[in-house]
């Protein structure tokens, strides 16, 4: 039985070209800024985003933390969507490490308006923590990979800037948004102060994320990265696949999006599987399985037994993520597996 792993796009393995690039990478001590491959990747990332500078960090979590530490002081407040990864999945690091408190904004599929930012921001009052940063997530993971358009982002960012805040994008999957909407990532960068994006998700690198922003921001972020243990030495071994990724792996994300849509088409015919089709804009499909009579944990356990790995995403929802290595035929197999685990399919061999 072949296992089909749709838990996350983080399970992608590096390509042969990436592995070769690692063996050939020029190396040096990056804390001394002497790793030529890291320097090349940082220049490439800055150019790609139309930013002044960029910084390699170990992970998306570290990139977001370093960005928050750089934009904020202890006791400041960050405005963030109520199910944003920064708030939901990063171990409370904003509070535990950076001393920052969150103020939550409820988004519509992860997206909110400038007016909501204005309403959430604190005025000057001796009782309030200063609202220092707005953090947006694009694509929004828990909302099912939904995208902010550059215009929506401009609206929220303008409001934040007018209120004296900086704006950071958790763009772990920002290239998925850019490919889905057919816009360059620089269209996002020009409205905000910093972006974190992951090399290690759909772009298929083994590790690493990048921060992009102004020269001044990146200089301060470099010091904070050191503080949280992210000063790496011959980090060219991480940067080399990153260069391959930025040069060759972005456009193919469209295949993952097509496979996600194919999955929705196939699953939608099953009455027990409920998907908010409008949220499926990139490579993530979140399905409500409550009508199957199973909890998400039971659904996942049954799927895993049949070689289909999915993530439990809530008491009644599961997440499927498409990525490099998953084919259209795999998607058809996934749909058959899902049908076969539904209690209604007693024979275990159903029709899709």
Residues of this chain that bind ligand PLP (CB under 6 A): 59-61, 85, 137, 141, 170, 172, 198, 200, 209
Task: Kindly state the smallest distance separating residue 191's Cβ from ligand PLP, in Å.
Answer: 18
DSSP 8-state assignment for residue 279: G
Euclidean distance between CA atoms 122 and 195, whole angstroms: 24
For ligand PLP, which is the closer residue by CB, 211 or 342? 211
Q: Element (H or E) spanning 80, and its range? A: strand 77-81
For ligand PLP, which is the closer residue by CB, 9 or 30? 9
Task: Kindly state the smallest distance separating residue 60's Cβ from ligand PLP, in Å.
Answer: 2
For ligand PLP, which is the closer residue by CB, 95 or 269? 95
Task: Kindly state the smallest distance separating residue 209's Cβ from ligand PLP, in Å.
Answer: 6
For ligand PLP, which is the closer residue by CB, 87 or 217? 87
125's CB contacts (< 8 A; 6+ apart) are none
Euclidean distance between CA atoms 175 and 251, whole angstroms: 9
User: Of the candidates 30, 12, 9, 3, which has an alpha carbon nearest to the alpha carbon of residue 222?
Assistant: 30
For ligand PLP, which is the closer residue by CB, 59 or 337? 59
For ligand PLP, which is the closer residue by CB, 60 or 335? 60
Handedness of CA 85, 335, 272, 176 (dihedral sign): positive
CB atoms within 10 A of CB 86: 25
User: Of the candidates 47, 103, 34, which has an alpha carbon nearest to the alpha carbon of residue 243?
Assistant: 47
Euclidean distance between CA atoms 311 and 296, whole angstroms: 9
For ligand PLP, which is the closer residue by CB, 146 or 209? 209
Task: Kindly state the smallest distance separating residue 225's Cβ from ligand PLP, in Å.
Answer: 14
For ligand PLP, which is the closer residue by CB, 60 or 150? 60
Q: Hunting for tokens 């998700």 — which residue is that?
A: 201
Task: Kindly state the smallest distance separating residue 207's Cβ from ligand PLP, in Å.
Answer: 8
For ligand PLP, which is the closer residue by CB, 213 or 292? 213
Distance between start and end Cα atoms, the chain:
19
Task: Kindly state the smallest distance separating residue 273's Cβ from ligand PLP, in Å.
Answer: 23
265, 164 contact by CB (below 8 A): no
Question: Encoding tokens for residue 352?
Answer: 């899709």
Task: Kindly state the smallest distance separating residue 199's Cβ from ligand PLP, in Å.
Answer: 9
- 1-6 CB contacts, 8 Å cutoff, 24+ apart: 1/306, 1/307, 2/307, 3/307, 3/308, 3/309, 4/307, 4/308, 4/309, 4/326, 4/330, 4/333, 4/334, 4/337, 5/309, 6/308, 6/309, 6/310, 6/319, 6/320, 6/321, 6/322, 6/326, 6/334
């Amino acid at each position: 039985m072949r296992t089909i792993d749709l838990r996350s796009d983080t399970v992608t393995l590096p390509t042969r070209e990436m592995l070769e690039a690692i063996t050939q990478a020029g190396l040096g001590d990056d804390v001394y800024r002497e790793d030529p491959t890291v320097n090349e990747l940082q220049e490439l990332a800055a150019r790609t985003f139309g930013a002044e500078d960029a910084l390699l960090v170990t992970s998306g979590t570290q990139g977001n933390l370093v960005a928050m530490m750089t934009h904020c002081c202890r006791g400041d407040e960050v405005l963030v969507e109520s199910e944003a990864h920064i708030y939901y999945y990063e171990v409370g690091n904003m509070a535990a490490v950076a001393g920052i408190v969150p103020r939550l904004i409820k988004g519509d599929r992860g997206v909110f308006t400038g007016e909501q930012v204005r309403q959430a921001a604190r005025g000057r009052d001796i009782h309030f923590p200063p609202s220092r940063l707005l953090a947006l997530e694009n694509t929004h993971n828990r909302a099912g990979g939904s995208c902010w358009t550059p215009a929506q982002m401009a609206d929220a960012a303008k409001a934040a800037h007018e209120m004296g805040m900086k704006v950071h994008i958790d763009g772990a999957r920002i290239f998925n948004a850019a490919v889905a909407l057919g816009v360059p990532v620089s269209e996002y960068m020009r409205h905000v102060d910093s972006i974190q994006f992951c090399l290690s998700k759909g772009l298929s690198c083994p590790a690493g994320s990048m921060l992009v922003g102004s020269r001044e921001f990146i200089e301060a972020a470099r010091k904070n990265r050191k503080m949280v243990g992210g000063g790496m030495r011959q980090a060219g071994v991480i940067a080399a696949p990153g260069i391959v990724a930025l040069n060759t792996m972005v456009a193919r994300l469209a295949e993952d999006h097509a496979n996600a849509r194919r999955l929705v088409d196939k699953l939608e015919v099953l009455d027990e599987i409920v998907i908010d089709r409008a949220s499926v804009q990139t490579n993530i499909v979140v399905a409500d399985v409550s009508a199957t009579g199973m909890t998400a944990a039971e659904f996942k356990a049954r799927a895993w037994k049949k070689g289909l790995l999915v993530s439990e995403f809530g008491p009644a929802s599961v997440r499927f993520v498409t990525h490099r290595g998953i084919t259209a035929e795999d998607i058809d197999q996934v749909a058959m597996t899902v049908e076969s685990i539904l209690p209604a399919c007693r024979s275990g061999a159903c029709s899709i």
